[in-house]
Amino acid sequence: MAKIAFITPDGESVVVNNAEGNLMEIATYNEVEGIDASCGGVCSCGTCHVRVNPNWIDRLGDKTEAEIDMLDFQPGADERSRLCCQIEIGSNHDGLILEVDPL
């Protein structure tokens, strides 16, 4: 299992220990501020937009076409942007750092 840090828009660090599974579900279960997950994880709203620490971008796998399309609608999205509903977390993600996009 992994230890993951979410940096909220107000600068608070929410650290989740023993994280495993869908990143959006991990964030909502741990009440991470700024992860609304309005669509429930079907990649149709963008309310789970995060920015991945540059050291982790290549370690999370490729974005799906649906994720790329949805990120096109997110103001300020960049090469570090991901929708956390599209990321599965395992023990190989220990130390992952994410910045929650301000809504």
CATH of residue 96's domain is: 3.10.20.30
Reported as a single tens digit per residue, the pLDDT across 14-36 is 999 999 999 999 999 999 999 99
3-state secondary structure of 101: coil
Q: Are 98 and 3 in contact (CB under 8 A)?
A: no
For residue 61, the number of C-alpha atoms closer than 13 Å in the C-beta half-sphere is 13
Reported as a single tens digit per residue, the pLDDT across 51-63 is 999 999 999 999 9
The residue segments making up the domain with residue 26 are: 2-100
Residue 65: which residues within 8 A CB-CB, separation 6 or more? none
Domains contained in the chain, number: 1
Q: Are 27 and 96 in contact (CB under 8 A)?
A: no
Number of residues that this document lists for the chain:
103
